[in-house]
Amino acid sequence: MIKSLVKSLAALAFLWPAHSFGQNQTYFAAYPALTPDAQTIVFSYDGDIWKVPVKGGVASRITAMQGEEINPKISPDGKWLAFSSNQFGNYDVYVMPLAGGDIKQLTFNDAADEVDNWSWDSKTIYFTSGRYNSFSSYKVNVNGGTAVRLFNNYFNTTHHIAESPTGELFFNDTWESMRFANRKHYKGAYNPDIQSYNPKTKSYKRYTDYIGKDFWTSVDQKGNVFFVSDEGNDEYNLYTFIGGKKTGLTNFDTSIKRPFVAANGTTVVFEKDYQLYTYDVATKKTEKVNISTSRNQVLSKEQEYDVRGNISAFDVSTDGKKMAFISRGEVFVSDADGKFIRKITNSGERAMECKWLADNKTILFSQTANGFQNWFTITGDGKGTVKQLTKDKANNRDITLNKTKTMAVYLSGRNELKLMDLKNFESKTLVTDEFWALQSAAPSFSPNDEYVLFTVYRNFEQDIMVHNIKGNKTINLTNTGVTETGPAWSPDGKYIFFTSARTKPSYPTGMSSAHIYRMALDNYGDPFRSDKFDDLFKETKPANPVVKPEPSTNKNDKKAKADTTKKKAEVKPANVITINTQDILDRVELVGPAFGGQFGTDAYAKGDKTYVFYSSNHEGGAPGLYRTTIEPFEANKTEKVADGGDYSLIQAGDKFFVLTRGVINKYTLEANKLDRVDHGYKFTRNLNAEFNQMFYETWVGLDENFYDEKFHGVDWDKMKTRYAAYLPYVNNRSDLRILLNDMLGELNSSHMGFNSLGAEERKNLTYVTNETGIIFDDENPLKVERIVAKSNAAYTGTNILEGDILTEVNGVKIDEKIDRDYYFSKPSLDREMTLTFNRNGKQIFVNVHPESSGALRNNLYDEWITQNHKNVDKWGNNRIAYSYMKNMGTGELETFLLDMVAQEENKEAIILDLRYNTGGNVHDDVLKFLSQRPYLQWKYRGGKLAPQSNFGPAVKPIVLLINEQSLSDAEMTAAGFKQLKLGKIIGTETYRWIIFTSAKGLVDGSSYRLPSWGCYTMDGKNIEKEGVKPDIFVKNTFEDRLADKDPQLEKAVAEILKDLK
């Protein structure tokens, strides 16, 4: 039977493509490690762990778990394989016999636990985890038990632990070696260096002090250290120490990754160009490891999708009979009721906009070509040939057709407004200006086609412009220092509707309290009631009776009738448009709600009524689609149309249609009623073509929007060519993430990244950690050490004391040989848990409400801040106000202002602490507050004089604390603080991580970040490249943090006390 089965499988093998099984060029093999004797390589590939002889050959699969297995490491005795797997949603540490056997899960926390290395006695596994802070180093016994953190202090972010035979622990401790290892060429204060600490001798060493990147340390059994550095040629190459001197071993022009030296010290294995290589330590020769693996090419398989609820854009033909719409980048056509549907594109590219042309047969649509959006046409039945109309190396977008569909206007690239003749499809540039290639408002035509209405950027804010097509003249209608955007012409041509916050700039915080306004283009008065009264008595001629003609067989008669019908269908000319710019801003009036936030405007008319549509959240909660009806002699009426803020509204003849939340609805204007059109239609696409399209679209997005036109000195076209060469070898979404993030990393840019999570990666079962706020003892993992302040276990009445021994969780007895987190790991957070403790031989039962691991991390962060407050009060004799901001978001701005309200008036000086600050966009608000100074006094009779303004921090000593982790908007704040001369800056140079950024979505919901707005000092220095230097340099070291010392804060207090004498 077995022989028969083997023969059957062999026969079937001939039916499958050869490349589905063996390939001699295995790409995206990663995380390599060697057996102690350097004879075998283990590595991660296609989500599993594999092994192959060091000289290459056929690889065999070791694991086949759900999810992804990474970071395989073999114990020095050669018996055990440790690795990390995310089969339950997050990475945990696992171990198994290298020779084969049961896989054992060692850790159960919902943070990512990523294996680093083994101890030399093969008893301990070192790993990096974010369970109690951003990330730090831990160890766990190979036989199980609870993991122990190696180095305390919230901001000791050690990782990549490698133990030397002497017990010395090598590590790195910066984001640039952990989160952004793919970022090339970084030079700055937060660079990773090779460091070590010996827990036995309490000895700390720093081996390198290079401003670039030294990291990924590996150590052999003799203590020889190997690592990567970009010091030689700005690419990661292999280095070691010879006689204590940093020495380069390779000089590749493309970077290597994750070197690992065998225990016997003969061979180093590493990644390069998405393949594995070995370096012979004795001969100094590098060889590629040719690996043959069984590659299951699932990306080329067709995957099924449904358009229902997933429509992103649409249009309706003028005759009202047909719809064109887009779902997941494909163009579809259906009848108006959604019963009969056909997919009419199949290019593997991404379509984004579609419009019916005047013949009701042809569709104009945008689609990517080599990543750039260009214009195409196709017949609505899908039977014709797709014709490409433009071949621009710029994104063409936001197209609008005039009512007769003879012209179209659209934006192209960063700075062009173009007009397309829909008869010959030729385009010409109308206006060249600062449109930006993102966050632009769509242009449109005036009702009489005389003008094009659009917005341009002036000092980061949008102005509303009109351009006379025949006269080739442009007029700025608003010309203010704030944004007016989303303009829409009223149907009668007399008004322009728009969105604005009127007195508040939109950058950098956005327009959260914007409203809808109407601007009159001339001095129009209100209609008179007396005129309407007189209209009641005007005589009207009776309509002639309709005589139905006899059918005719004469072709000329039929042609005449068709011509007559055509003439009747012709659109009546719109009113003459008058634009009087004198005092035009005095003619702006509010439309709709005066509270909440509104955005997006569309205006339609029926009879005397004008209907203005927009998104609004004025009723609380999520935004919805609303309309305000403007009617003579009636108060404006606002009513809700639908849920969902993002919408698209189309008029086809006398019919209206609305797209909201991915669904097209028929809309009855008079009744304000939606009737859903149920587009139930399934179609297929394959991820291989989709991934290729996403790659090029991402490249184009950066090509068009990256803030530095010189791309930080990188040949961006060359990078596209280099990385596109690996697209044929991408086998899954993880490979695509690696490839795109590596390409983006070439730009040496902050605020960069490609994020993607596909349905095919979702786990069947995920777990979260039910944290309690209890910190347990390292030596005895079940003994209560303390309770975290602000945690759920810290509530008054919770009967948990230091020294209590945890014995049960929800009635389940605890086994000390199992990770304590196992008992707190659940598919979701419990509403409450019952913990049983042993207190001096007596059982104590305590109920607690679990909290998330994120809440625990935040509370631990707050403990550090609270201790800083106490230290400043103690060292400064209660004379100094202290405020700490975790980031530059609105929540932390509120914290800062509350700190100032509570402390500033009663203190003589201020310390603003922006160390470890992760940025945001409230720099202007912070600096405005700190810049206040008294300008007069007032008092009530017999009372004390009080200053105006209420707060005057600028006349007091102020110290701003920064360090190498102060980034983004914290750097903007520091630069502004220095320019305004508000006080002293103490600490280290900032991160050099500041470009204002947005994100752009891709066809499958993935996204990439767009660092588009550079930040510069008043004398033109690029803060991204130079950072902000302190006035007084003080560095907190690893040893300072380990000993809970804070020289920077001490210096800040000392400097203020010196000024207060």
pLDDT tens-digit readout, 621-640: 899 999 999 999 999 999 99
Total number of domains in the chain: 5
- The residue from 229, 968, 1006, 1012 that is catalytic is 968
Residues 768-815: pLDDT tens digits? Answer: 999 999 999 999 999 999 999 999 999 988 999 999 999 999 999 999
Phi, psi of 912 (to 5 degrees): -105, 120
Query: Is residue 805 domain-shared with residue 932, that is, in the same domain?
Result: no
Residues 6+ apart with CB under 8 A from 15: none
Token pair for residue 711?
């791309």
Q: Is 483 exposed, middle or buried (0-12, 13-18, 19+ CB in 10 A)?
A: buried
Query: Is residue 814 domain-shared with residue 895, that is, in the same domain?
Result: no
- Residue 6 confidence (pLDDT): 30
Query: Is residue 510 domain-shared with residue 588, that is, in the same domain?
Result: yes
Is 1035 a residue whose pLDDT tops 70? Answer: yes
294, 326, 361 - which closes a domain: 294
Is 1015 a residue whose pLDDT tops 60? Answer: yes
> Which residues is 139 bridged to in the sheet?
126, 148
645, 680, 709 - which closes a domain: 645
Per DSSP, 449 falls in state S
Distance CA 742, CA 719 (A): 10
Tell me, yes or no, whether 324 lies in a domain: no
CATH number assigned to the domain comprising residue 944: 3.90.226.10
Is 884 a residue whose pLDDT tops 50? Answer: yes
- The residue from 690, 751, 851, 1055 that is catalytic is 751
Q: What is the CA radius of gyration of the chain?
A: 34
Query: Is residue 809 domain-shared with residue 913, that is, in the same domain?
Result: no
Tokens 């079937």 identify what position?
Answer: 12
Per DSSP, 19 falls in state G
Tokens 């202090």 identify what position?
Answer: 153
- 1024 as an active site residue: the answer is yes
- Residue 5 confidence (pLDDT): 30
Do the strands 647-652 and 637-643 form a parallel or antiparallel pair, or are they unpaired? Answer: unpaired
Tell me, yes or no, whether 784 lies in a domain: yes
Is 560 a residue whose pLDDT tops 90? Answer: no
- The residue from 690, 697, 904, 1024 that is catalytic is 1024
Query: Is residue 741 domain-shared with residue 799, that is, in the same domain?
Result: no
Residues 6+ apart with CB under 8 A from 961: 911, 912, 913, 914, 915, 985, 986, 987, 1048, 1049, 1052
Torsional sign, CA 386, 390, 395, 399:
negative
- What pTM, to 2 d.p., does this model score? 0.93
Query: Is residue 625 domain-shared with residue 513, that is, in the same domain?
Result: yes
Tell me, yes or no, whether 36 lies in a domain: yes
CATH number assigned to the domain comprising residue 421: 2.130.10.10
Residues 7-51: pLDDT tens digits? Answer: 332 332 222 333 344 456 899 999 999 999 999 999 999 999 999
Token pair for residue 459?
């000092």
Is 1061 a residue whose pLDDT tops 90? Answer: no
Query: Is residue 475 domain-shared with residue 588, that is, in the same domain?
Result: yes
Residues 919-957: pLDDT tens digits? Answer: 999 999 999 999 999 999 999 999 999 999 999 999 999
Residues 729-743: pLDDT tens digits? Answer: 999 999 999 999 999
**70 SS3 class:** strand
Give the number of other Cβ atoms within 10 Å of residue 955's Cβ: 10
Query: Is residue 900 domain-shared with residue 836, that is, in the same domain?
Result: no
Residues 37, 262 contacting (CB under 8 angstroms): yes
Dihedral Cα 393, 397, 403, 407, nearest 10 deg: -10
Cα–Cα nearest to 355, from 369, 343, 366: 366
Tell me, yes or no, whether 373 lies in a domain: no
pLDDT band, very low/low/confident/very high, at 294 (cuts 50, 70, 90): confident
pLDDT band, very low/low/confident/very high, at 296 (cuts 50, 70, 90): confident
Tell me, yes or no, whether 433 lies in a domain: yes
Distance CA 914, CA 230 (A): 30
Tell me, yes or no, whether 658 lies in a domain: no
Task: Report the chain's mean pLDDT, rounded to a whole number.
Answer: 94
Is 108 a residue whose pLDDT tops 60? Answer: yes
Distance CA 974, CA 888 (A): 12
Q: Give all strands (DSSP E) within 1021-1061, no chain letters.
A: 1032-1033
590, 613, 645 - which closes a domain: 645
Distance CA 574, CA 577 (A): 8
pLDDT band, very low/low/confident/very high, at 551 (cuts 50, 70, 90): low
Phi, psi of 585 (to 5 degrees): -70, -15
Query: Is residue 587 domain-shared with residue 443, that is, in the same domain?
Result: yes
pLDDT band, very low/low/confident/very high, at 558 (cuts 50, 70, 90): very low
Query: Is residue 774 domain-shared with residue 716, that is, in the same domain?
Result: no
Cα–Cα nearest to 169, from 193, 131, 204: 204
Which residues span the domain enclosing 845?
A: 768-853
When pLDDT is averaged across residues 302-316 and rounded to a whole number, the result is 97
Query: Is residue 957 domain-shared with residue 928, that is, in the same domain?
Result: yes
Tell me, yes or no, whether 275 lies in a domain: yes
- Residue 566 confidence (pLDDT): 45
- 968 as an active site residue: the answer is yes
Residues 662-697: pLDDT tens digits? Answer: 999 999 999 999 999 999 999 999 999 999 999 999
Cα–Cα nearest to 850, from 819, 817, 827: 827
Residues 218-259: pLDDT tens digits? Answer: 999 999 999 999 999 999 999 999 999 999 999 999 999 999
Query: Is residue 459 domain-shared with residue 514, that is, in the same domain?
Result: yes
Tell me, yes or no, whether 940 lies in a domain: yes
Tokens 């306004």 identify what position?
Answer: 517
CATH number assigned to the domain comprising residue 90: 2.120.10.60
Distance CA 273, CA 33 (A): 17
**194 SS3 class:** coil
Residues 885-904: pLDDT tens digits? Answer: 999 999 999 999 999 999 99
Least confident of 549-558, 623-632, 970-979: 549-558
